[in-house]
Amino acid sequence: MTETIETLNAQLGLPVQLSFGPGPSGLPLALITNAQATATVALQGAQLLAFQPHGEQPVLWVSSHANYLPGKAIRGGVPICWPWFGPHPSDPTLPQHGFARTSIWTPILSTARDDGATELQLALRDSAATRALWPHAFAILLTISVGSVLQLSLDIHNTGDEPFVSSGAFHSYFAVGDATALRVEGLDGHHYFDQLDGQTRQQHGPVLISGETDRVYRDAPGPLTIVDPLLGRHIRIDSAGSDSAVVWNPWIEKAQRMADFGDDEYRAMLCVETANARDDARTLAPGNSHLLEARISTTPGA
Ligand code: TA6
């Protein structure tokens, strides 16, 4: 990205609704506020760091120990995992969850929508740096719509002359009252790959969190609902272009091992991720595209 914060404000700033400014450690941020909600997006990773409908608790969680350093993943919000989910399929030296979340994306369009939502589009294209990690030409476009509902749409284009396989996720960190006192509905009966021991199991009833939880659910297009009695709300996640969902909570020991995660923060968050993970990876022929979408809404409810 070559634009400065000043040129971005001149080109894409929306009076009152959208402005760009420096965040922690100088990382450029897009700040969105409208009659329905507020949101913050880091241009690094096109990563949502905050989303809060007016009159409600924050919907997304960010660690108080998060790094805001160039090229370092920010712990929280909605990291974009792409072009691979988890460790690289064959080269363990490559960055976990791909390079999209640590790359600087370019804001290309801002819209004050008639329904009162604010829309921001950010783009990332292949470069020498990305081709050194993943030898394919691509253009990906994230559209974020901020209103009473949060909508994310990742449009993945193969701009090269050979097919590629990519996996990924909206690695959404949700703010919860207490991870041990909630349940996730919508996965009953689905099979999941347990990343903790490599076993495949079947989900019986709602997902409850009582230890480290790291599961990739298959054939799970949603909708999924986090029922949070302490905050008295439901967070509903609708998706499109995704047949896998990930539920992750690091619990105590793993939280203690992560420098950018507070030892006791595991109770305040839960990741429910809209994914194309494991065998839900997508193959794109030259010129083709894939759309991964998530719609995040909240309703009061015990
Ligand atoms: O989505 C779950 C997961 O794949 C876990 O295995 C854990 O590694 C988590 O992502 C966070 O990964 P990160 O690279 O952001 O620390």
Element (H or E) spanning 6, and its range?
helix 5-12
The pLDDT score that the predictor gives to residue 261 is 98
d(CA 130, CA 140): 13
d(CA 279, CA 233): 33
d(CA 157, CA 163): 11
How sure is the predictor about 16, in pLDDT bands with cuts at 50, 70 and 90?
A: confident
What residue's CA is closest to ligand 1, atom 13? 96
- Kindly give, in sequence order, each residue whose CB lies less than 8 Å from that of residue 299, ignoring residues fewer than 6 positions away: 233, 234, 236
Q: What is the pLDDT of residues 192-209, one digit of tens each?
A: 999 999 999 999 999 999
Say if residues 243 and 280 touch (Cβ distance below 8 Å). Answer: yes
The pLDDT score that the predictor gives to residue 130 is 98
What is the position in ligand 1's atom list of the atom closest to the CA of 75? 15
Q: What is the pLDDT of residues 242-285, one digit of tens each?
A: 999 999 999 999 999 999 999 999 999 999 999 999 999 999 99
User: 141 C-alpha vs ligand 1 centroid, how far in Å?
Assistant: 23
User: 81 C-alpha vs ligand 1 centroid, how far in Å?
Assistant: 10
In terms of phi and psi (left: phi > 0; alpha: psi -120 to 50; beta: otherwise), the region of 226 is beta
Q: What is the pLDDT of residues 39-60, one digit of tens each?
A: 999 999 999 999 999 999 999 9
